[in-house]
Amino acid sequence: MNYLGVGISPGNVPVYHGTNPMVIERRVRIAELLLRCLICVLSVLTAFLVGTDSQVKEIFSIQKKARFTDMKALVFLVVANGVAAAYSLVQVVRCVVSMVKGSVLVNKPLAWTIFSGDQAMAYLNVAAVGAAAQSAVFAKLGQTELQWMKICNLYGKFCNQVGEGISMAVLASVCMVLQSGISAFTLFRLCGVNKAKGNSGW
């Protein structure tokens, strides 16, 4: 049996081989910090690009202003990325503090909390991106069966900026999925270490 480079010999004596667990943990923490910083930046960019987007168009002498609030999917996208940015910022602070203190290892309850939070953020943002992308397709291509016109033919600048925001959101969602994988790795690896310690006590 092998848990993080810790083997159990036939005589139930722990045998160490492979990479030092603390070195692996430190590398994981650095990768986590970089990913969380990237998620925070991409989420802020998404919320900024979509949330500040607007365009005024004159139609039959009447000025019509397009805003992100006109589409509920875009409102959902802005809110989801705002929440993700705030959550990522808190996690970045936690990572920096733990690395400065030298306590890179986390306990099991904290690992479960982080894992659950990362999963929730990933699901939330993937759902928001999916809803926003579907609305963007309707705005770009229209829907003749429902007599929905191609909005982007009228509000080109508005649609382009929304497209940029959705692109940032897609990248942020990919990073969140990767971060969820790191959280799962940390949690299950921590469970493996605890199990190995329990077995060595027999």
- The model's pLDDT over 121-146, given as tens digits with 9 standing for 90+, comes to 999 999 999 999 988 888 787 666 65
Percent of the chain with pLDDT over 70: 75
Mind listing the pLDDT tens digit for each residue in 95-115? 888 878 766 556 778 888 888
Q: What would the mean pLDDT of 14-22 be, rounded to a whole number? A: 53
Strands (E) located in 78-187? none
Distance, CA of 188 to CA of 194 (rounded, Å): 10
Predicted confidence at residue 143, as pLDDT, reads: 64
Nearest by Cα to 77 from 104, 54, 45, 106: 45
Would you state the pLDDT for residue 66?
A: 80
Q: Distance between CA atoms of 9 and 15, rounded to whole angstroms?
A: 6
What local confidence, expressed as pLDDT, does residue 157 receive? 87
Share of the chain above pLDDT 90, in %: 39
pLDDT > 60? residue 87: yes
**Helix or strand holding residue 8 (H, E):** strand 6-8
**pLDDT score of 178:** 93
- Of 64-73, 75-84, 88-97, highest mean pLDDT: 75-84
Q: Would you state the pLDDT for residue 93?
A: 92
Q: Which of 41, 1, 64 is nearest to 169 (CA)?
A: 41
Checking if the pLDDT of 152 tops 50, the result is: yes
Could you tell me the pTM of the whole model?
Answer: 0.77
Domain boundaries, the chain: 2-200
